[in-house]
Structure 1
C-alpha cells in the first residue's frame, strides 16, 4: 500500500486525475490478455517524457518497482504487476507527433493505437505494415515491446523491421536515443533492435520513430475453402514453393470457422475443415497472373471453393471473421490458452499434424488460427479455468506444443513474447550460455531489477 506522502508526490508529478490507488480502479490494471493477474500498489499515467523521468527517479528513491503497460492486450503476462510494483500506464501518451511523407517516417508516442496511426497514414497515401489482430486496441509501445507481427508479416516483416529509432528512459531515469530518422544502420551496437522485443524489462519507451511505406496500388483478396485442414496447410507450402509472396496467408480451422460465423456472419462454410484467406498486393498488371496461379494451386490441393473478393465490402466481410477469431471461442468454453508457436514455412503441414496429435493425446479441444505464410500458428486450447484438473492438462498440452515446435526447428514464441507464461520453457530453446547473455543484458540496463521484475528471465 502506498503512503499518502507517496501518493501526493505522484499527483504532483502527473496530476491528480492521472493517479489511481483505489481498489476498484486498480482492478482494471491487474490483468492482461492471459488468465494471470496481479495486484498493483498504484497506477500512474504520464503524458510527457519529463514526467516519466520524474516518476522513475522518485519511485527509485522510494524503492518501488515499475511495470510499463499499454492497452493490456499482452498474451504472455508481460504487463502483469508483481512484487511491490506501481504500473506506469502509457495510454495517455497517445500523440502522433509527425508524419513525414517525403522521407516515409512517422514519429509517435508509445500510447498511440496501431489502428489510429493506420487511419492517419491512409489519408496521406501511406501505411504501417505490422498490424496484429489486436490493432484496434493495442498500442505502438506494446507492439514494439513485443515485436508484434500480424497478418502482413509474411511479406512485409514484423515490428522490428519498421522501427528506426526510440527515445528511451533507462531504469535509472536517464534518457537515451537510439537510431534515427534514416534507413541505414546506426553506428555502434544496434540498441534499437535490443530494445524492440525486450518486453518492457529494460526501461520505458517514450517516443518511437517508425518507417512507413506507400499504400499498394492494388490489392486482391481471395478465400479458399477446404474439407481438410491438412489440405489447406499443404496449399501454404505450395504457394511459397511457387515463388509467390502473398501479403497474407491466414488459416482458420473448422472450430474457428463456426465460432466466428456465430459472431460476425461472414458467410464461411460451416462444414469446411479449414479456410485460407489469401491476399496479394502490387501493380495491376501483376495481379491476374498471380490470382490464376494461386487458384490452380488451391485446386490441386483439393480446395472445394476458391473465390476472389469483388468489392471492398466483401473484403471487409472476409477479414471480419479473422479479426474476431480469438474472442469468438468464448461461445464454446469460458477460457482459452493462446499459443504462438512458429515453425519454418516448409514444416507448416507437419506442425498442423502435430497440433492435431497433441489435441488427441491430451483429450483437449484446440482451435487453430495461423499466420500461415510465416509459419506462425496460434493453437487455442479451450477449457474452463475453474476446473483445476483441466488447467493442469492444458498446461501439459501447451508444453507439448512448444516441444513439438522446437522439434520442427521452430520457436516457442513468434510474436506474443515470453513474459510470465512461457518463461519456464525458454531454456528449452536456448543453451545456458545464451540464457546467461540474456540475464547480463538485463543486469546491464537494470542492475537493481526495478523494471518489470520477474519477466522472461530471473536475475
Structure 2
C-alpha cells in the first residue's frame, strides 16, 4: 500500500491522513475548478524526500499533485481522486544569496516576499512581484511563470530563473540550467519547466538572478470616466516610448471593496484609476513622470497628478494588491487572465464591458495595463447558479475576444483546469501534439499533475 510505503521511508510527521486537513489541501483559489479527494498529504523538507514520494508514486501507479501556498487561480494545484498531494510549504531555506554573481538559491517553498526582503538586506532585488507575493512561493511562481506589477519593465519569473533542481516523472533528481551569466549548453530544459505547472517535473530548488536595488519610484495617478478611456492612456504611454516600472489599472468596484474591508479611505471621484510608477534616477526620472502625466491628460483623464505624498501613493498600490481578496468577500470570484497587445487594450476593455452587459454579470477590472495583461473579475452572488452559468459564458467570451485580438488566454496565472479549452483554441492541433509528446517523454508514467494544462489524451 502506498501510505505504508511512505511511512516506511519518511518521518511520520511528513505524512498527513486527517480528512479534515486533506480538504484544505485539495484545491487552490481557482473558483469553480473541479477537484478530487486526495489519498494523502506529504510535506517533505528536502529534495531527497520529494524523490522518495515520486518513486513511491511510480511504483504504485498513483498520481502526485504538487502545490506551494495554494494561491493559484486556475485549478493547477487541484487534487485528483486518490492522489498524493505534495506540498512544498516546509521547504523554506534560502541557501545562498551571492552579491558578486547576483544570484540566489532557494528551496521551492520560500515565499516571494521573504526572498525579496532577504535580498534587500544585501542591496539586491528580485523583481518578479505577483500580487500574491506576500503569500505565494517561488516554486509556485516558477510553475506558472508568474509576473506582477513591475514585469512591464523588468520581465516575468522566466527572465530570472537560471537553474532548477527537479525530481523527474521517473523519480530522478536532476539539476538543470546554470549559474553563469551566459550558457547555451544543450536544450533549454530550465525554460521548458518554467510555466509547466508541475506536469513535467517537481521543482525542489531554484537559482534566480538578482538586480541591484533600484531607486525610489515616482508615482503618477490618473482618474478616468471609463475603462476604455484608461485604455487609451495606456496606449498613449506605449506610443510615447515610455516603459514605466508599473502601470496598473483598478476600477471603482475594486477600490470600494478594499475600502469596505480595510477602511483605507480610498474613495475617488472616478470609475477607473491608472497608477504609474517610474524608477529612472535623477532629472530623467522627473521628465518621465511628467511625460506619463501628459499622456494621461491627453487621453482624457478627469484628474491626473504626480503624487508628492508617498504614503498616499503606497496606499493606492496596496489597494491594487488587495483587490482580489477584497472582492472575494462579496461572493465567488471567477478570475480572468488574458493578455493582448498594448495597442488592443482599449478594444479589449470595451469587449469586457460588453461581455458584462451581454451576460448580466458584474465584472470588476484590475490589470497590469502596461503590458496588456488584464484581470477581469467576474463576481456572482453566493448560491446563485444562474448567475454562475452566465459568468462562465462571459468568461469564455472574454477568452475568445482576447484570441481574436491577437492575445493569449493567460498572461501569468497558467492554464490549470480552467483554461484548457482556451489553450486548445489558441494553439494549433500540431502544436498541441508537440505538447503531448513532451509530456509523454518527461512523464512516461503519467503521474505528474494529470489532466492539467493539456488535459488527457
**TM bucket normalised to smaller:** over 0.9
Alignment pair present for 1:339 and 2:336: yes
Report the equivalent of 1:70: 68
Aligned 8 A contact 1:14 1:47 in 2: no
Alignment pair present for 1:30 and 2:26: yes
Distance 1:178 1:433, change over 3 A: same
Structure 2: 5+ residue runs without aligned partners?
Answer: none
Distance 1:9 1:19, change over 3 A: same
Tell me the TM-score normalised to structure 1 length. Answer: 0.96
Deviating more after overlay: 221-230 vs 202-211: 221-230
Alignment pair present for 1:437 and 2:437: no
Alignment pair present for 1:368 and 2:365: yes
Question: Using the alignment, how far apart are the partners of 1:313 and 1:169 within structure 2?
Answer: 45
1:90 is displaced (CA, Å) by 0.4
Question: Using the alignment, how far apart are the partners of 2:163 and 2:322 within structure 1?
Answer: 32
Question: Using the alignment, how far apart are the partners of 2:451 and 2:317 within structure 1?
Answer: 37
Kindly provide the CA deviation profile for residues 148-171 of structure 1, in whole angstroms up to 9, marking residues without a partner as x: 010111001110000001111101
Report the equivalent of 2:152: 154
Kindly provide the CA deviation profile for residues 79-137 of structure 1, in whole angstroms up to 9, marking residues without a partner as x: 00114211011011111010001111000000000010011111111111111000111
Alignment counterpart, residue 316 of structure 1, candidates 314, 317, 320: 314
Distance 1:308 1:267, change over 3 A: farther
Q: Secondary structure at 1:176's aligned position in 2? A: strand
Tell me the TM-score normalised to structure 2 length. Answer: 0.96
Question: Using the alignment, how far apart are the partners of 1:386 and 1:60 within structure 2?
Answer: 40
Report the equivalent of 1:417: 414
1:27 is displaced (CA, Å) by 1.2
Kindly provide the CA deviation profile for residues 47-92 of structure 1, in whole angstroms up to 9, marking residues without a partner as x: 1111111121122212221111100011110100114211011011
Alignment pair present for 1:18 and 2:4: no
Q: Secondary structure at 1:282's aligned position in 2? A: coil
Report the equivalent of 1:449: 446
Deviating more after overlay: 177-186 vs 420-429: 177-186
Question: Using the alignment, how far apart are the partners of 1:456 and 1:175 within structure 2?
Answer: 23
Kindly provide the CA deviation profile for residues 185-211 of structure 1, in whole angstroms up to 9, marking residues without a partner as x: 431110011000001101110110001
Report the equivalent of 1:89: 87
1:219 is displaced (CA, Å) by 1.4
Question: Using the alignment, how far apart are the partners of 1:384 and 1:224 within structure 2?
Answer: 31
Q: Secondary structure at 2:233's aligned position in 1? A: helix
Report the equivalent of 1:384: 381
1:270 is displaced (CA, Å) by 3.7
Q: Secondary structure at 1:324's aligned position in 2? A: helix
Aligned 8 A contact 2:227 2:346 in 1: no
Kindly provide the CA deviation profile for residues 346-389 of structure 1, in whole angstroms up to 9, marking residues without a partner as x: 10000110101111111111001000001000000111352322
Question: Using the alignment, how far apart are the partners of 1:108 and 1:291 within structure 2?
Answer: 36
Aligned 8 A contact 1:145 1:197 in 2: yes
Structure 1: 5+ residue runs without aligned partners?
Answer: none
Deviating more after overlay: 196-205 vs 173-182: 173-182
Deviating more after overlay: 309-318 vs 31-40: 309-318
Aligned 8 A contact 2:199 2:439 in 1: yes
Alignment counterpart, residue 201 of structure 1, candidates 199, 220, 227: 199
Alignment counterpart, residue 233 of structure 1, candidates 231, 234, 242: 231
